[in-house]
Amino acid sequence: MPTKTTLEIFIRHQRQSRPGSGDYLQLIVDMAEAGKRVAAQVNQAALTGALGSSGQINVHGESVQKLDEAANETFVGMMERGGLLAGMASEEMENAYSVTAEGSGPYLLVFDPVDGSSNIDVNVSIGTIFSIYRRTEKGGRVCESEFMQRGWEQLCAGYITYGSSTMLVYTAGDGVHGFTLDTYSGDFILTHENIRMPAAGEIYSANEANRERWSAPVRDYIDHLRRGGAGRKYTGRYIGSLVADFHRNLLKGGVFLYPADSSAPQGKLRLLYEAGPLAFIAEQAGGKASTGDERILDLKPETLHQRVPLIIGSAEDVDLAERFQSTGGRRAATPEAAVI
């Protein structure tokens, strides 16, 4: 491989090493191109008047930020050109979007155009999360049921972070690789090949303002980590952008939780285009992703915008969280409880 490996070269090698792996890998390159455009929209937002609310309310009852809308339009506009997609589903679109009447390509894209919307106006890292599935129908307009596929049926998944640098991280089922946007050449350059998530971390990420509404097992788990009960002293880090909190824990180890609580019994985050793609990446990097009871990748969505409790990160940290959940709290901390 040349010293500076661009995403295009890396993908070409990946396709050559996996004959017949299908052309869906080209969709990673297409997402990167659209991501470069969105990175510029993010960088320029304060200058172009693209900060703040658009005045619209989305299907989740949330105020749509101007950048949510602009990024959604950019991805839809650029991704439908490649001829590989039959349809798309996005956090910012109530229904599934059919690329053309006859349904051109064999693949489906699901994405969250701007994750971490509450951080857009305050110059804190935000991102885009996406994943690719194969169509389940032979042709014609896509229907919502084609998107109701389990996470382990994803062909590839990735995210783009718009932070101190712009990075693209993806998996196509053989490892997790990270690329940094070289703002001089305009290329995504391989900077993090075969990322492995540390088996256990020293960081937990959760919005502790929700603590009173959490279940006892979740509260006990966080207290256990804080008390050093897991044999390591944990510290809290919470950016409020899932993609940025996940990226830090992917590189440094740790666990992110957005559990169910008394006001959000299904949690806050969306299964199809937030939890699912990151769960595929986490597992490919040696980590885990759970609802607390179930493996995220085994869940079959029932609706496009279904929410799910999420515990994701280093394998040992997620295992421990599941033990607290399955034993109803405190008892999980004791070794004998561990064997349950």
Rounded distance, CA 223 to CA 98, Å?
47
Quick check: 247 binds ligand FBP (CB under 6 A)?
no
- Gyration radius from the chain CA atoms: 20
Mark the segment that binds ligand FBP (CB under 6 A) among 74-82, 108-116, 175-183, 229-237: 108-116
Minimum CB separation of residue 340 from ligand FBP in Å reads 30
Structural tokens at position 79: 């991704």
Binding to ligand FBP by CB under 6 A, coded x per residue (else -) over 192-231, reads ---------------x------------------------
Q: Candidates 30, 69, 80, 91: give the one binding ligand FBP (CB under 6 A).
A: 91
**6 vs 249, beta carbon nearer ligand FBP:** 249
- State the Cα angle at 333 between 332 and 337, rounded to 5°: 45
Minimum CB separation of residue 66 from ligand FBP in Å reads 14
Helix residue ranges per DSSP H, 258-333: 276-284, 315-326
Rounded distance, CA 238 to CA 227, Å?
18
Quick check: 117 binds ligand FBP (CB under 6 A)?
yes
Quick check: 92 binds ligand FBP (CB under 6 A)?
no
Residue pair 163/125 in contact (Cβ under 8 Å)? The answer is yes
Rounded distance, CA 237 to CA 226, Å?
12
Rounded distance, CA 115 to CA 123, Å?
13
Pairing relationship of beta strands 288-290 and 310-313 according to DSSP bridges: antiparallel
Mark the segment that binds ligand FBP (CB under 6 A) among 137-145, 175-183, 239-247, 321-329: 239-247
Quick check: 240 binds ligand FBP (CB under 6 A)?
yes
Residue pair 188/180 in contact (Cβ under 8 Å)? The answer is yes
Residue pair 58/304 in contact (Cβ under 8 Å)? The answer is no
* Number of residues lying near ligand FBP (CB under 6 A): 12
Quick check: 112 binds ligand FBP (CB under 6 A)?
yes
Mark the segment that binds ligand FBP (CB under 6 A) among 34-42, 43-51, 76-84, 113-121: 113-121
Rounded distance, CA 250 to CA 312, Å?
10
Q: Candidates 203, 242, 255, 272: give the one binding ligand FBP (CB under 6 A).
A: 242
**71 vs 332, beta carbon nearer ligand FBP:** 71
Binding site for ligand FBP (CB under 6 A): 91, 112, 115-118, 207, 240-242, 258, 268
